[in-house]
Structure formats: structure tokens, C-alpha cells
Structure 1
Amino acid sequence: MHSWSRPTVPSLPGRGPVPRVFDDSTESLVETAGVDGRIGIYVCGITPYDATHLGHASTYLAFDGIQRLWIDAGLEVDYVQNVTDVDDPLLERANATGVDWRELAASQVELFRTDMAALRVLPPRDYVAVTEVVDPIADAVRRLVDAGFGYPVDTPDARDADGQDIYFDIDAAAEHTDWHLGLESRLDAATMAAFFAERGGDPDREGKRNRLDPLLWRAAREGEPSWPSAVGEGRPGWHIECSVIALDALGPHFCVQGGGSDLVFPHHEFSAAHATALTGKRFADVHAHAGMVAYQGEKMSKSLGNLVLVSGLRASGVDPSAVRLAVLAHHYRDDWEWTDAGLAEAVARLERWRDAVARPQASDAFDHEVTLLAELRGVLSSDLDTPAALKVIDEWVAGAHPTGGLVARAVDALLGVQL
């Protein structure tokens, strides 16, 4: 699957520091590190319906910012993202609207691409749809079963008489691997079960060994898409798809696994569990997550329908750079609320910045701009502190300093905002 066009990232003098990022598995700020000048990141992609809302945008802008810092530090970035183009929520929406699930997915993926390009988000090197890798996923499920980490459960409603759902045995994984991300020390059993049920799990399914065992493979049902495979006719579970796509594209170990904070449990916990069971190695060095975006007092979500869509803002004439600035005004790990006032402030800020960099250029501006660049790099390299970075530029603008063009290039390269 193709991604979207890559924006030009201006080159800047010198090199910035490799950023430190908050790791949710250790609850600490850690160094990110590449290998031989390269660094890998996997960010969970969309289930393609109701794309792209501001919650999506906030997440992908966060990890875009981290990539831009790696590029500024001289690293080659291997960025991988999936598309969950077959899953229960997508199929339910397709059935409710009378649209073929493949057509719905394709239209929403194209809208997402268009929105990401407008926001000047760096595209993934590998943009992979689940339907493109069903065979590798099924093979991984077979290997987990053979290794004692997967088991079948009787499935009376399977289309075929011998069809069985396959589940991951988390107790076996806990005993024989060191997958855990440390969440068990922060979430009690009742909370984990509630999150599991809310986020695609089935804690009350009969025949499972542990209530939290996640689905690896769903046997074919009447009226649902399915594929023949080494583990029977069916389709992949949610968590295993990300494990396999990341391992195939990045290898058995990479730097950052990222996504929204609602993916911490169970999705990232179990995708890491599957990968560790398959390879015997830790899935990623850093597990990083963006906060949730609210609107009208509630978390912005598809189920509630309280969505602000990037495409809708663009259609109303809002400059995508203003949308980007409105998001960057909040630290990526914070939960925050989208408001019209926040957008208006971003529009005004963008206008002030553009007026400032349009001043006549002065040859004596360079030294001051280099100092400002160092300050920008410093605040951003400490867990992507974009509110502090906006303040740095605001103070430069308010000081009516002469410009030599470096500030505009720095804002473009590090913040992704084209002035």
C-alpha cells in the first residue's frame, strides 16, 4: 500500500541532540538510540472509518515530531505504520451504512493520506494493510500454537464445522518469556478486564484459559471476510497484526512502539507479548503514547460521534499549519480539549509568525538565530516539549529581531510548520 507524498525537510546548521522520550513501560525519560545511524519506529495506524479526527492528528503529529528530531540529529528513520483494514468496527460500520467494507476502507484510507499530506506529516517508509499480510500473520499464529503459546477454543458459530478461534496463552507467555511492559504493577485485574472488554477483548468467552487471553485468529463466520490459511479459514486478531507487520519491516528489535494512550492496554501490551513469544526478544526499547483529545467535555471518539475532522476544518478554509499549531500548543502526552478558541489562537499565532519571517532579511541576524535554534533543539529534545518551543518562537517574534531566514527553516524542519 502506498503512503503519501513526503514534505521537504529543510537542512539546518549543525546537528541537534538525539531526543529523550518518556517510556511508559518504565515510567521514565529515556534516551532513544539508533544502530549504525538508523532508528526504527512503529506507530499503530487507523481502522479506516471516520478518518481523520483530531485525536488521530494529535497522535501522528507527536510521532512526526520525534522523527523530525531524529532526522535533525543525523539519523535515518525507518518508520512503519499499519492499516487495520479488516476488523469488527469497520465491518459493523460497513453493514450499518450498506457500503462494501473494502470500499469503505479504501475511501477512508485515501482521506487519511490526504489529511496527513496537508498536515505535512512525514509518511511511513512501510505503510502496510492487514489484508496484504494475512499469510504471514497466519504463519505466525501457527508458530505460536506449535510453541505452546496459542490454543484453539470451540467455536459453534464458525462457518465450517471444524473451524476454531485461536487464542494467545498469556500465562504461558508470562512463564516462558519476559514480555511484560510493567503494566501489571499499575492496573488491577478488574481494570484490565474492563479495558480488555472496552477495547476489543472478550473476557467472558467460554473455553479460554485466562479471561484476558487475546484472540490470535478468528475462524470464518457467515457473512464475514475470511482467507484460507495454515490455521484454517478466517482472519487475524487485532494485536497479532501489529506484531507481525513490525517484525517483518523492522526486525526483531527496534527503538519505539507508539500510538495513543488508549492503546497501552491491551493492544500494545499484547502485541509486544506476541512478538516476544515469536522472537525471544524484547519488542521495542521505548513504548511511547500520546494523550487523548476531548471535545465538548468528552473524549473525542468514534463511538460517541463527537469528532472534529481534519478534512472538515480544511474544507471550511482553515490553514493546515494552524491546525498543526493548535495541536502543538499541548504537550503530546497530555490529555486536552479541542476548542474554537484554541484554533483561533493558533490562527493568530501563525499570522504573527509569518509576518515576522517576512521582515527584510539582515546579514547580522545569523548569530542570534543560531542561538534561537539551539534553544529550540534543547526544549524539543526533552520529550518533545512543543509548548516550550512555541514560546521560544513567540518571544523571538515579540522582540522584533531581524531575520536571516534560519528561523523559518527551523520552524519548518523541527515543528513541521511552513511559514
Structure 2
Amino acid sequence: MLQVNYIRENREKVLEGLGLRNFRQPELVDEIIKTDEERRQIQTSLDNLSAAANSSAKQIGELMRNGKKEEAEALKAETGTNKEQIKNLSEELSGVEAKLHTLLVQLPNLPYHLVKSGSTPEENEVVYEHGEPAELHEKAIPHWELTAKYDIIDFELGTKITGAGFPVYKGKGARLQRALINFFLDRATAAGYKEMQVPHLVNAASGFGTGQLPDKEGQMYHSTVDDLYLIPTAEVPVTNLYRDVILKEEELPVKNTAYTPCFRREAGSYGAHVRGLNRLHQFDKVEVVQVVHPDHSYQVLEEMSAYVQSLLQELGLHYRVLRLCAGDMGFTSAMTYDMEVWSAAQQRWLEVSSVSNFETYQSNRLKLRFKGATGKTQLAHTLNGSALALPRIVASILENNQTEKGIRIPEVLVKYTGFEYID
């Protein structure tokens, strides 16, 4: 959530940033500024009345101590009016604050200055490409045929149990899943991330804190009886560990990692581009999250991007890095890098990771602050990244490493799988 002080003091800058996102609603920004001015005026009146009431209370006490009961009772009668005004103003202030909050949550984050305008994935910038496409034999097939051939993932069985988008992993397919999870967690902890095991359901306050609510409620599975949401990513519970927390500056950066299943409704997703593992309703992912000093967050973003790339390099995958244009970024992000792996069998790029800097957008919602040496508190910056999401990584490994002998397991995973080939 954008800070209202910044909006008030930088109206034109805010409109320009929102315009890059194709979010052109100057009337909403002006309504926020107007409502905030109303809030400040009420707050000033309330503060003045409260100060006068406190002063009168002291005078009444002094008069009573000096035996001036009649004067004290007269002053008490006057302050009775003040108390009624204070009550009315307090109720009015609560209503205006609620209205301001409703308006503020409608604004997306402002893009960082390196983020270019644009509205479609085709307008994203390719900032780096690594490796060469795998050369496959002439009988190479896409992963949904490979999984059936080697009986390692069963999509129809998952549909029978639950529905489309919930596959069943079998035998070496299940072992490969577990191998990747352990590999990603081991690499994350070696890189200084503290492993956390977190709930897979969160309350609405957690969803609001990281920006999934009220923007993405239609994409989340909702347990209405208990008003809990299945997590779309470990980012939500991990970042919410620090909701309403004031850290010490020397505690920064905070680095956490977690493996969780992820649940996404992905309403309206259909067609060949979502076939097989390309898009699922339930999938596994290892997430990395950092809480950092605002002065260092973009340096950290580059470090997190490099870290995710190192995983792709160890797996021997041909990939590219995109800096998303303003219109293709998530609602809460100030800048995002996407990592895409080339699928030689499908002849297309598959997104396998997003690494984002949210600046203070999440921390303002979370009330996540840190205190420096001066004792002053300020909002921290939050970042997160997929390191990595498994489905498309598995699809890429299966497709790019298929041989006439079988599917070759990347060397770094063999000690985790216990086998070199799926055959």
C-alpha cells in the first residue's frame, strides 16, 4: 500500500508512475488526497479538543483542592460539551480513516525508475540469456507424453481424485520432486537463508499484508467456514511472520526460505499452453524472502536474481532473464525479474521464477518497521523470489534431457534421486 504522505506530496509523480502501469485514475488519487486532508483536519480538531479537555480536567482538580466547588462544577458542565464533541469527532475520524483505507488499497505499487512502460508480456525486456537450446533426437516428445511413457506422473488419476490441475507423481517422478525440493532447500540454507516451516492456510489479515487481498481473492481457494485461505505461495506466511514487528537495524537483512505446496485457482486457464505441468492448481515451490534496509533493496534484488540463476545453471538449463514492463508486473511489485527456461520439445519459453522488490508496499500494510541507532522507526523493504517452482522445472528437465536411453537426471540431483536415468 502506498504511503498517503508520499501521495499528497508527490501527486504528479504518483500519476506518472501509475500511468506507466496503464492505471490512469487521477480522480482516485485526488479523492485520496481530499479524504486525507479531511482526516487531518478532523484529527487536528480532535487533538485540540482533547488538549482543552485535559487542561480543564487539571483546572477542575485544582479548583476542588482549593475549595472552589461551584467554579469547579461550572467548568465541569462546560467540559461535558467538549466530551460529546470529542466522541462525535472520534466516530467521524474512524469513518474517514476507513474510507481512506478503502481508497488506498485500490492503488498498485509505483514502478521503479528502471521499469519501462508497456502492457503485454511481449514488451518485457530480455536483460540476459544463458546457454544454448538442448539438441534433441528426432523422436523427442513433450513432457506430458514422456510422463505417460515412463509412468512417472498421472494427470488422469489426479483428475479422478480431485480435478484437472492436480497431478499424481509416481515412482521416479515422486523421487524427482523430492530431490528438487531438497536440492533447492540445501542451496538456500547454504546461501544464508533460514529454513522455516509455515502453515499452508492463512487468515485474511495475512492475505492483506502481502497484497493477495483484496486484489487476488478470486485466484485463491477460500475455506469459507473458517475464513481461511490456502496459500498461493510461501511468500504469504513467511512475510507475515514479521507483521506488526519492529526489528533492530542490525538484524537486517532477514533471510528466510520455505518449501510449501501452493494452491491457485487460475480461473479461466485453458488451452494447449497450460497442458501437462505448464499450469497447475496445486504445485510445489521453494521460496526465498528477504526483509532489508531500504538503501540496499535493489542491490539485494540483483543478488537474489543471480542466486536463482545459479540454480538454473547447476541444473544445466538454457534460460533467459526478463525485466517486466510496468503493465505486466504484479499489483504489489516495484520491479520484477522473471526467469524463463527454454523447452526444446515445446519450442517455447516457460516461466520458472519471479523475483520482486516490493519496496515499502507490503511493509506499510504489514506495519513492518525497523529502528535505527537514532531510535527512529521506518518501514523496511521486502523482497521475494521463487527458488524454484517445480512444475515447469520438471517439465524442462524431462524434455531437455530426454535421450533414446531415457531421461538423464542432472548431475547435481543424482545424490538426491539415487538414480541417473528415468527409463
TM-score range, shorter chain: under 0.3
Question: TM-score, normalising length from structure 2?
Answer: 0.24
